[in-house]
Structure 1
Amino acid sequence: MQHPGPPRFCAVGERIELAPRSPDPDASYEWSLLEKPAESTLSAPDSPVLEIEPDAPGIYRFALESPAGTHEQRVRVFPDVRRPTSFDLERDELPEHDPEDVSIMGPFNEHRFGREYPTLEDGTYRYEIDRQPGTHRYGYVPGEDFESAVWEEVTVPGPGRPRVRLDGAVDEEDAAVVVTADATPGTDSEYDAADLAVEFYADDRDSLSDADLEIDEHVVRVPLADLEEAVRVHAVAVGERHSVADCVVVHPDGRVERPNDPPEWARDAIVYEIFVRSFTDPASFQALERRVPYLESLGIDCLWLTPVLESPTEHGYHTTDYFDTASDLGTREEFESFVDRCHEAGIKVVFDLVINHTAREHAAFDMSAAQVPAYDDWYIWEPLEEAAVEADDLEGGRDVYAPPSRITADGQTEVADYYFNWHGIPNVNYDSLAVRSFFGSVVDEWVDVVDGFRCDVAWGVPHGFWKEINERVRAQDDEFLLLDETIPRDPAYAECEFNVHYDTTLYYALRDVGNGERPAKAILEAATAPDREGFPEWSLHMRYVENHDETRYLTECGEDAQRAAVAAVLTLPGVPMVYYGQERGATEYRQLMPWEGDSRATTFHRRLVAARRDSAALSRGDLASIESEADSERVVAFARETEDERVAVALNFGEEPAQVELDCTLEPTDLVTGDDLEAESGEGSTTLAVEDVVVARIA
């Protein structure tokens, strides 16, 4: 399986990584560049893992010499769409600081502060960079005080990314599979759907070549006569920009599979996140197993556990042993017993996969710090003069607040790479074949035990490795779930990588609405953001009001806003997530589960979950607009609809009940409470009294 994988797609100015799959760390791999655009000056680096930045649009064709033979991989590069962008911040918005020691961070530098520095002009910090159209989040950090960072957003004007979806069916008369591309223009595009180009590509791993594809604009025919094994067909829609690529697998018997589609069970899933060492006291797998009936009573069907592997920390994200469960939680057998009990209750279990970094206490880090040859390149080490720390900040030893360092044979100091201020979890190096092999084996170890991975710091791991992991888990279980923590979210992770994505856009909108900084209708703009952001149709988005990294919504925004926010998550499209304790009135983000807590809030959550379960429109229906008038901007209304059912939802984030007039007639029962609506119906309209949420079928 050492072929580097499917064709890759990017734009000029984007970096892309190519690497052998399931590599032998002791083997030899050599890349060569067989074809490139005439104006390109790119060459193939002399390393088994390529990190390239194409400098001209067109086709690049690479060859990889490996122990398993020679493999080819193509990279299709589209024109540069970046525009000059200024990331600004008024000096007065930062707390007292030294203006000579202010840095900027964001996705553009992988959230590393102390690397890029702005200019200060007339009281405004300014950092200029080329960015693609869309909304970009960035933070200014005074000195090393990450906790005092001030975050802002800037929107770069321009068209959004188009989208494409492939579907196929057998044409019996022609003995071929007809694959049709449904292409959709991006937001603010000048293209109509029919005007978008669609480029089709055969997969370089298969016997099928581009010449075998019979292409007619948005349709391609795949003859079955000489097809002895399954083949893959990829497609990209192209307007001003290019889409996330889609793929279908065509089998010799005419069957067509869509590898990008999420597991069927995930489309209706309601997730419950448990911070493992705070849900029971004491924390153990056996104690968790005893609480499964409680999870059943909530109506959830997917459980996300924070890390359960060996770690010196309470939260578990500093992993020291990837092949055994944490000794304080219990044995692997006890963990598997808990998973089996969840399965008996109809609950899937998602496992927190932490492979961007390890604990600095991990044995491999000790070996790398000691420059043992087999481990020397397991982590990213930078010369001190290039790192974002001063020599005085390096204390060595095990001080978690000091960046780890090592002294090389020639007496030079090197500092381990890390994100944010996470000194205790050094980033592993995916340029290392040994690292790629190791974490591939970690995935293999657990894929048969759980039903999915929530992938921590997914944005820190190369796309090529996630594509490999996606195929790896699907080969063993095509209903396995992959959920990415990518903040802010990025549609590129939907391309044969992840099924479900953190919905950071809705999260921030719900916070702003709850704090009174934006009107309630902002949640509708956020809920439809995936289309504008270029996410493909098959993407699912996990929607939440809080998680283990965030302050509690109740604490920040109050009870009234929280009830409306929870109702939004459980009535909007997507995959709703409830964070443990949210339903019991918890006020601290990792506190012990308040079992004696707010039973009224628990009943509210149960009723919302039940309403979603009982309504096809709420669980799988499309989001639709509904004309409404309210006496407060703290109120918003929308509809969910299928062919057979339409449901109206009205939310009130305010402290006082509100009156809302909808341009439709409602059935008399509130689907959440089961009570009669407080409503007056007119000709084609209904006036409601809304305390927090009203959900009713449209007559």
Structure 2
Amino acid sequence: MNRSNEFDPTSGRTATDGGTPEADRGFESGDGSHHPGPPRFVTVDDGIVNPNGREMETRDDLAPRNPEAGAAYDWRILESPAGSTAEPTDDPVAEFEPDVPGVYTLALEAPDGIHQLTVRAFPAEDESDPRPRVSLDAAIGDDRIELSVTATVAGSDRADDDLEIEYYVDDRDDAEIGPDGTIPIENVTDRVRVYAVAVGDRHSVPDAIELVPASGAEGVDDTDTGTTEPVRIERPFEPPDWVTDAPVYEIFTRRFPDQDEPTFESIADRLDHLETLGIDVLWLTPFLEAESGFGTPMDHGGPHGYNTRDYFAVDPDLGTMADFEALVDACHDRDIRVVFDLVINHTADTHPFYEAAVDESHPDHERYRDWYRWEEFEARDPDTYFGWDGIPNLDHGNPAVRAYLLSVVDFWAETVDGIRADVAWGVPLSFWTEIHDRVTSADSEFFLLDETLPSDVEMGGGRFHMHHDDVLRDTLESIGASVGTTDETGRDSANADDRESEGSDDSEADAVADEFTDSGVDADGATAILEAIAERDRRGAHPDSEWLLYVENHDTDRYLTQYGRDAQRAAGAATFTLPGSPMLYYGQETGATGRREPMNWDAFDDDLLAFYRRLIDLRRSHPALASDARLERLEFEADTDAAVAFARADPASGRQVVVLLHFGEGTATVEIDDPIETTDLCSGDPVSEGDSTEGWNHAIAVDSVVVLESVA
């Protein structure tokens, strides 16, 4: 697909067609109306708010969908619980803080009519309590659809009898749920969206199903679906099939290709490396025209591209749009999907919109002044995160901003397979809900990955399919810090002399992620990784949420450099043997030492590369290491708290494996009872067994990782 990127960033219009670049697929949110979307579920203490200064807190608002710049939108209360005086703010994109628990009905008056929205406000909650999880399903009977749920609270293997289940039908749909939790089939003449929330001491993230008639207004007949049921059930929050278990590879786009000619073309020339590794997904850090392009010094973060100057133009130093599309095609030829790093919380302060906003003499000053959030406009002091100069935050409370950013999403969703959302917590939840609906309605295989630090389970269930697992990553860092072997410079002392390289940033202050988050669990030793996985359930993550498991990324220092080779191998093995989708940051597998240094194409650590190839091969081939295989704790004894043992079990095949990890130097001895085969599935070699002590059947020597088949 060849598309013009001749976009006038000052006017927001293309030179060729007089308007915002149009995607070929015809993206549309919902039914194309301004209806604000699904019911909202909040607490009275949090509400639906989006103020300045919430650097690490998720934002939210009430907003019309498919917004039109300059159109009139008005919010008001239709019904509220007794005693409430809460009102939405007087803005097209409004805030609303319920003051009494209960159900509110809001009205949005828009150019296409009046739309109603249900807001369920729960009492204030103690966030230290575990949060329920709910999974909604339905059975199709002769004349009725019977809803059913599975609801659990962390630490319980059964549905909690104290949980209440609340059902809601989308305000856009014409159907009602009876007191017995059923819907007459004859009432499902069009698509019906149903939501369930489990309520105990806290309320769950909602789950949803869609009831689609087999014929009628949807135009779906029995021959198309292959079903004899009058209604089929769809699960809109499920991730695409290709996402589950897909090994992900992140590249720092301007540092990965050949450094004598760093272009999209030379990235494509290096794809054989990813194919040989067994990579399924390529995540490209920003490659658009940005302030931080080639030549940006490392004390300014290197050529990172996260301060965009033009959302519709690739960096010309990397090539043309056609060159980028050829790269995507080359990935697809190798069955590698491509994920675009979307940066819509902020722009560069050299973006033409911002330059117009701060310049009163600019002809578009009045238009763009309201496109940004301000601490104090007269001082030209924009709202930013963490005091980071040069990246002013956009104002998503402006319908024109939302309309523009939707056109950005539409444009790139035509070419790539998914989006990774940078600083996702800085963009309102309502906007991500609209984006999810917009792109997945057009392409059910489209993928959405969020960055929230700390990870926010509200991003699941109809916003994102996958989340950065910052809890596991920070836990791995804590373990590395406790056992790693580094010299006073922070380098692995065994290899320090070989670690100097162009672009190395070891002398920098702490990496970005280390400046503002520490999400590791409060547990000692290597067993903390098991607590990190359990934390997903305690937080109440949506059952369909997938997790990106990583040791390092572009915002962290290199694990190898910080904590040494032994710890890095064990941490890497953890990401490939725990539930989730493992990710490699370019050079992790080849011994790169600088956070954003050029890829070490001519200096691979071949032993380390072979180690990661074996991990990927094992992960892809063994069903007991798949994301949906159970994680089971084992009784074990070790001569160091830097070691841990656990099991994974595939419920479909019945196969099980035992995983032994050791993060420290040298060899640990781990004793277990479980009956096992004695060949290490990772290395292919027989394990080294010593004399076990009383009460244990096996005493196994573990360097970094041993994976053993269980004997039934």
TM-score (normalised: structure 1): 0.82
One-letter code aligned to 1:695: V
Q: Residue 192 and residue 477 in structure 1: after superposition, are their counterparts in 2 closer, same or farther (change >3 A)?
A: closer
| Pair 1:246 & 2:252 matched | no
2-side partners of 1:30 and 1:163: how far apart?
A: 35
8 Å CA contact 1:585, 1:597 repeated in 2: yes
Q: Which residue of 2 aligns with 1:598?
A: 605
Query: What is the Cα deviation at residue 186 of structure 1?
Result: 4.5
2-side partners of 1:698 and 1:686: how far apart?
A: 13
Q: Which residue of 2 aligns with 1:133?
A: 127
Residues 283-308 of structure 1, C-alpha deviations (whole Å, 9 max, x = no match)? 21101111111100111101110001
| Pair 1:176 & 2:144 matched | yes
Q: Which residue of 2 aligns with 1:665?
A: 675
In structure 2, which of residues 569, 575, 595 is the aligned counterpart of residue 569 of structure 1?
575
Query: What is the Cα deviation at residue 178 of structure 1?
Result: 2.3
In structure 1, which of residues 341, 347, 357 is the aligned counterpart of residue 336 of structure 2?
347
Residues 83-118 of structure 1, C-alpha deviations (whole Å, 9 max, x = no match)? xxxxxxxxxxxxxxxxxxxxxxxxxxxxxxxxxxxx
Residue aligned with 1:508, SS: helix
| Pair 1:70 & 2:114 matched | yes
Residues 645-682 of structure 1, C-alpha deviations (whole Å, 9 max, x = no match)? 10110001111211111111211321111112223698
Residues 243-267 of structure 1, C-alpha deviations (whole Å, 9 max, x = no match)? 0011110011211111111111111
Query: What is the Cα deviation at residue 626 of structure 1?
Result: 1.3
Q: Which residue of 1 aligns with 2:321?
A: 332
8 Å CA contact 2:268, 2:327 repeated in 1: yes
Bigger fraction of residues in strand = 1
Q: Which residue of 2 aligns with 1:137?
A: none
In structure 2, which of residues 408, 421, 443 is the aligned counterpart of residue 477 of structure 1?
443
In structure 1, which of residues 277, 286, 297 is the aligned counterpart of residue 254 of structure 2?
277
Q: Which residue of 1 aligns with 2:706?
A: 694
Residue aligned with 2:161, SS: helix
Q: Which residue of 2 aligns with 1:674?
A: 684
| Pair 1:15 & 2:47 matched | yes
Q: Which residue of 2 aligns with 1:37?
A: 81
In structure 1, which of residues 513, 531, 540 is the aligned counterpart of residue 546 of structure 2?
540
1:129-208 superposed matches below 5 A: 132-134=126-128, 159-171=129-141, 173=142, 175-186=143-154, 193-208=160-175
8 Å CA contact 2:41, 2:119 repeated in 1: yes
8 Å CA contact 1:570, 1:612 repeated in 2: yes
1:208-219 superposed matches below 5 A: 208=175, 212-216=176-180
2-side partners of 1:479 and 1:649: how far apart?
A: 33
Stretches of structure 1 that go unaligned for 5 or more consecutive residues are 82-131, 135-158, 384-405, 408-412
In structure 2, which of residues 559, 565, 589 is the aligned counterpart of residue 559 of structure 1?
565
Query: What is the Cα deviation at residue 18 of structure 1?
Result: 0.6
2-side partners of 1:685 and 1:57: how far apart?
A: 57
8 Å CA contact 1:661, 1:685 repeated in 2: yes
2-side partners of 1:362 and 1:188: how far apart?
A: 51
Q: Which residue of 2 aligns with 1:92?
A: none
One-letter code aligned to 1:287: S
Q: Which residue of 1 aligns with 2:371?
A: 378
8 Å CA contact 1:262, 1:499 repeated in 2: yes
| Pair 1:628 & 2:636 matched | yes
1-side partners of 2:100 and 2:263: how far apart?
A: 55
Query: What is the Cα deviation at residue 180 of structure 1?
Result: 1.0
1-side partners of 2:323 and 2:184: how far apart?
A: 51
Residues 518-575 of structure 1, C-alpha deviations (whole Å, 9 max, x = no match)? 4111111112210011112111111111000100001111111111000001110011
8 Å CA contact 1:203, 1:234 repeated in 2: yes
Residue aligned with 1:214, SS: coil
One-letter code aligned to 1:167: D
Query: What is the Cα deviation at residue 71 of structure 1?
Result: 0.3
| Pair 1:6 & 2:13 matched | no
Q: Which residue of 2 aligns with 1:128?
A: none
| Pair 1:448 & 2:425 matched | no
Query: What is the Cα deviation at residue 177 of structure 1?
Result: 2.4
Query: What is the Cα deviation at residue 195 of structure 1?
Result: 2.5
8 Å CA contact 2:461, 2:545 repeated in 1: no
Aligned length: 589
One-letter code aligned to 1:133: E
1-side partners of 2:109 and 2:442: how far apart?
A: 28
1-side partners of 2:572 and 2:66: how far apart?
A: 43
2-side partners of 1:414 and 1:341: how far apart?
A: 45
CA RMSD of aligned residues (A): 1.7
Q: Which residue of 1 aligns with 2:454?
A: 488
8 Å CA contact 1:666, 1:697 repeated in 2: yes
Residues 193-232 of structure 1, C-alpha deviations (whole Å, 9 max, x = no match)? 1321000001001122xxx21243xxx3222213221110
One-letter code aligned to 2:177: L
8 Å CA contact 1:177, 1:250 repeated in 2: no
One-letter code aligned to 2:598: L
Query: What is the Cα deviation at residue 508 of structure 1?
Result: 1.0
Query: What is the Cα deviation at residue 39 of structure 1?
Result: 1.9
8 Å CA contact 1:160, 1:188 repeated in 2: no
1-side partners of 2:444 and 2:555: how far apart?
A: 30
Query: What is the Cα deviation at residue 414 of structure 1?
Result: 4.1
